[in-house]
Structure 1
Amino acid sequence: MPSSRSAAPNIAVPLTVASILTIASVISALAAGGVEEPPSNETPPAYGFRVVAAYPHDPEAFTQGLAFRDGLLYEGTGLYGGSEILEVVLETGEVTRSRTLPPSLFGEGIALMDDKLVQLTWRSRIGLLWDIENFTIVGAFYYQTEGWGITSDGQSLIMSDGSSKLRFLDPETFVVTRSLEVKAEGQPLERLNELEYVEGLIYANVWKTDEIAIISPEDGELVGWIDLAGLLSEEERQNVGVLNGIAYDPGSERLFVTGKLWPRIFEIEVVEPV
């Protein structure tokens, strides 16, 4: 990523989800109006963050997916022979329920869908459906790409495969209904990873970066970045993996992030430089 987006801001003020949505709506209005939209190679705004709270996280969890509902975190972890699905008490990090995947499956992103948890696998091209009440597998589906991240907008499941493409799946049949190519400054944005749907926008970890891409689900255009450089200290970063894991609680508008083998989950507030 260009260095101009990775510089930490000196002064920051809170930025609400509504503010980000306003920026996205302006872009959409330009596209819908009679005036020709400017070229999409302009640098999207870069936002910073403020840590609201930090919660304990298992430093041995190879986090691949994160979701939040009713005060509980749900986490999907990866690695062959070590992939799990977990229910976790946010404040204490206590695992209240867990299941281990077959050793031949490498767990990936997760999403909540009604009374089920959807979990992707990496190269097996198999998605698992977990009953959220009893943590048992009640179904499976297949896809034609690698599985990386997944989220839901309430109508469709949205899936990434490590490329610049996002695919929308029918939640009943799991058939791909449409796809988007995500672009940043006119170029395909590759390595899209864990996903979360946040108030009409798609938040995506970008593998091997400290940034979250904010994506319009209408046309795949990048409407902003969240730069999370500095979330961990340099010392802490020596023994952890990449930033990966986004969860959002729409009721309280709380946003949570973590990473692979990270010792903490952070609740953050998105801010912008003055």
Structure 2
Amino acid sequence: MKNYNVLSVILLAMTISNCGGTKKGENTIFNFNTSTFAAKYTPEQALNLEILNLESKDVDSTVYYVNDSKVGVTNGLAKLTFELKDQKLGYQNLKALVFYEGENSEATARVELVSSVQPKLLKYKIVNIHPHDTLSFTEGLEFYKDTLYESTGQKGASYFRKYDYKTGKIYKQVNLDSKYFGEGITFLNDKLYQLTWQEKTGFIYDANTLKLEKTFAFTKDIEGWGMTNDGKNIYQSDGTEKIWTTNPENLEMLDYINVYSGKAKIKSINELEYINGKFYANVWQKDAIAVVNPKNGAVEGIIDLSGLRKMVKNTTAEVLNGIAYNPKTGTIFVTGKNWDKTFEITVSE
């Protein structure tokens, strides 16, 4: 199977770049020369920035910005070349502040930076099949001290529990108030962090006692979906193409990457797991996992798990969701909302 056909298993929400210059207020004096812009750029390319002087003003200097960061100053309207190799994928907002005849004026535009990586189709092998509670609307799955934990959604039925994945025996369960729709979880520094969907609220528990220690509010106006960590920072998805970096000390959302598979933006990023330096991400409504480079958001691999869905017997089963890496066995556990099975797999090229 060719790689570009493999991508059909994941929602590829193509976006169209708006490369036209946008004016600030009634400004018609200066504009970016967008006729030289490509529809999409890759990190190996460079932007050639040039300003059109529509009224032939006497220009002293031009200051160029990309995503509000100053990238260069030129005399008059001299062109500027900007390398894109260190930029995160997604839209690059361009601004030029032009100083002329004792005044200044802004010109703005934007271009889209996409991935040049061709994702690989990864293989998987089923190691074991374990029972899964068909009443569990799975939102998060994670191992902590060799024990599997799972969080679920739906108001009035949201909880997280620790249990024996081999038998399904529940060791302990913590139910959320009925006003909350539970979402992803992650363990870091002996704390259990949990998100809620649209309530913009999260919870912090003692990882050993599962006693609630703190409630926190999201610092951005987003939804809560998946959650994971790399041992230092927490990462969370919001149902879009974004994966946010969050400070575990104060829960401030610091920055984000945009997930791209080639030229296409991948929206609806859901459950997350950080495995050997990569994000493994469920894509909502797709029976596939995207393997994402956490530095730039490029999808490097795809695991097509549609074959597992065919093995699920529960007629009320919904989408694939839930990824947990067991460092002790080196295997990955995957399941879905209301599935009757959890699959223990290994992944390879």
Q: One fold, TM greater than 0.5?
A: yes
CA distance in 1, matches of 2:285, 2:116: 23
Structure 1 vs Structure 2: percent identity of aligned residues?
37
TM-score when normalising by structure 2:
0.67
Q: Which amino acid counterpart does residue 303 of structure 2 have in structure 1? A: I
Query: Which structure has more helix as a fraction of its residues?
Result: 1
Counterpart mapping for 1:183-194 below 5 A? 183-194=260-271
Aligned residue for 2:6?
A: 4
DSSP-derived class of the 2:313 partner: helix
Deviation at 1:48, TM superposition (A): 2.5
DSSP-derived class of the 1:155 partner: coil
8 Å CA contact retained: 2:312, 2:341: no
Aligned counterpart in structure 2 of residue 94 of structure 1, from 169, 173, 193: 169
CA distance in 1, matches of 2:215, 2:286: 31
- Alpha carbons of 1:234 and 1:255: their partners in 2 closer, same or farther (altered >3 Å)? closer
Q: Which runs of 4 or more aligned residues in structure 1 lie more than 4 Å from their structure 2 counterparts after TM superposition?
A: none
DSSP-derived class of the 1:252 partner: coil
Aligned counterpart in structure 2 of residue 254 of structure 1, from 314, 318, 331: 331
8 Å CA contact retained: 1:6, 1:227: no
* Matched residue count: 249
- Alpha carbons of 1:42 and 1:157: their partners in 2 closer, same or farther (altered >3 Å)? closer
8 Å CA contact retained: 2:312, 2:339: no
- Alpha carbons of 1:191 and 1:242: their partners in 2 closer, same or farther (altered >3 Å)? same
CA distance in 2, matches of 1:142, 1:43: 38
CA distance in 1, matches of 2:135, 2:4: 31
Q: Which amino acid counterpart does residue 267 of structure 1 have in structure 2? A: E
Unaligned runs of 5+ in 2: 10-43, 46-82, 87-113
The alignment status of 1:166 with 2:243, answered yes or no, reads: yes
CA distance in 1, matches of 2:8, 2:127: 21
Unaligned runs of 5+ in 1: 8-29
**Superposed CA offset, 1:201-241 (max 9, x none):** 00100000011010111111111111111113267264201
Aligned residue for 1:69?
A: 144
**Superposed CA offset, 1:3-41 (max 9, x none):** 53468xxxxxxxxxxxxxxxxxxxxxx89xx9x89x735
CA distance in 2, matches of 1:55, 1:117: 24
- Alpha carbons of 1:235 and 1:202: their partners in 2 closer, same or farther (altered >3 Å)? closer
CA distance in 2, matches of 1:265, 1:61: 12
Higher relative contact order (Cα pairs below 8 Å, separated by 6+ residues): 1
CA distance in 1, matches of 2:216, 2:260: 28
CA distance in 2, matches of 1:237, 1:61: 12
Determine which structure has more spread, i.e. the larger CA radius of gyration: 2
CA distance in 2, matches of 1:163, 1:232: 24
DSSP-derived class of the 1:230 partner: helix
Moved more, 134-143 or 212-221: 134-143
CA distance in 1, matches of 2:251, 2:290: 25
Aligned residue for 2:209?
A: 134
- Alpha carbons of 1:60 and 1:3: their partners in 2 closer, same or farther (altered >3 Å)? farther
